[in-house]
Structure 1
Amino acid sequence: MTIHLPVNKLSLWQKIAFGAVLIERMLPNYQMFSQASEFGNSTILRNQLDLIWQRLDKSQKIKINYQAQLTKLEEQIPDPESFDSFGVYPALDTSMALMSLLQAMQDNENDEGFSAVSRLSYNSVSFYIELMIAQEFPEDDTEITDEMIDQHPLMVWEKEMQNELFDLIKDSSENKQTCEKIKKIALSEGISNLGIEF
């Protein structure tokens, strides 16, 4: 069970914009984990995402040293075995999504890296829903089915949001105004893709 959007049909600019806006929705999960666990520097991820947005603004000539950014990012990736809180998983997904996007930007031919951002966001939500259902029925041996996850309001919202952003990017001009528009939609409700307020 995963999401399959035809990312390969987008232009390079559109692929980067789609990845960036999905990470924008994931970033609060990393920030919250980082604050609670005192691990990682969420400002590094924020700055890297801002660099990507600047790169999408064609009026600015931004050069990104991908190797330097990837090296910095590697140090911010949490190891799930070192933490006993659930928050480590969405934080891991966020940092891996940013890494996938930077690597895909470095190697323009790599559609897999752009698609990975979409899947990581989706999987983050799926795993969170599974955990919530398990906590809701701790004494119950009920098997958590794909259908239960699929019909959960948070998953419905995730799929709708990804589809809406994808369609909007696909049909919009490649400029700063589109970046501002998609960011506004993604952040309009003031919650991350897991429904966490920021």
Structure 2
Amino acid sequence: MAIHLPLNKLSIWQQVAFSAALLERMLPNYQLFAEHADFGNVKVLRNQLDLIWQWLDKANRCKINYQAQLTKLEAEVPNPEDFDFFGVFPALDCAMALMSLLQAMQEPSDDAFANVSKLSENSVSYYVELSLAQAIDDNNHHDEVIISPQQIAQHPLMQWEVATQNELFDFIKQARENKASCLQAKAMVLEEGLSNLGIEISA
């Protein structure tokens, strides 16, 4: 189930706000990975996301040195070949989504903004596929496990991801471009206290 939202119909501000809100749901996955892998400084990503929220506050807008931030971020991008557990993949998705957003802010591109939405969806899709495959494999040790797109689409986590992105898009497209809208968007996506993979967000 691919999510295809008409992000190019939004203003640059709206696209940045939409993407930043999605990243709030992805960042806890990176944090959990960093805690277990002894790799990655989640504070770098947290600070960059905070910078983006500050940029969105037109009354107190900050300037961002995009090249410096991208260079910092590159050092925090995990290589999946260096780790032997699933957590590296959603962490990589988070880092790449943040990189896409910074690049899109530096040089606006519909594809770069859409990439944040896709990476969030991909994290959930892959996690759901592995979870379903593991559950089936536990019961059928010798059969080849095939998970259909329909099974993934019907999983509660995937339905939640689709609903969240749609709800956020509907809010952002009519929201005023100010700090209050940012706070509301952030509150919407963090209301459950869970990442997009259902991981509890620690303070």
Calculate the TM-score normalised by the size of structure 1: 0.98
1:143 positional shift: 1.6
One of 145, 148, 153 as aligned partner of 1:145: 148
What residue in structure 2 maps to residue 4 of structure 1? 4
1:61 positional shift: 2.8
Measure, in 1, the Cα distance between the counterparts of 2:61 and 2:52: 12
1:60 positional shift: 0.7
1:12 positional shift: 0.5
SS of 1:124's equivalent?
Answer: helix
Regions of 4+ moved over 3 Å? none
Measure, in 2, the Cα distance between the counterparts of 1:189 and 1:141: 36
What residue in structure 1 maps to residue 121 of structure 2? 122
SS of 1:59's equivalent?
Answer: helix
Measure, in 1, the Cα distance between the counterparts of 2:145 and 2:194: 30
What residue in structure 1 maps to residue 167 of structure 2? 164
What residue in structure 2 maps to residue 106 of structure 1? 106
What residue in structure 1 maps to residue 131 of structure 2? 132
1:39 positional shift: 0.2
SS of 1:46's equivalent?
Answer: helix
1:124 positional shift: 0.5
Calculate the TM-score normalised by the size of structure 2: 0.95
In the alignment, is the contact (CA less than 8 A) between 2:29 and 2:195 conserved in 1?
A: yes
In the alignment, is the contact (CA less than 8 A) between 2:100 and 2:113 conserved in 1?
A: yes
Query: AA paired with 1:94?
Result: C
Consecutive unaligned residues of structure 2, counting only runs of 5 or more, are none
Measure, in 1, the Cα distance between the counterparts of 2:176 and 2:191: 21
1:141 positional shift: 2.6
Measure, in 1, the Cα distance between the counterparts of 2:118 and 2:2: 7
CA RMSD of aligned residues (A): 0.8
SS of 2:176's equivalent?
Answer: coil
What residue in structure 2 maps to residue 32 of structure 1? 32
Consecutive unaligned residues of structure 1, counting only runs of 5 or more, are none
Q: State how many pairs are aligned.
A: 197
What residue in structure 2 maps to residue 67 of structure 1? 67
1:142 positional shift: 4.0
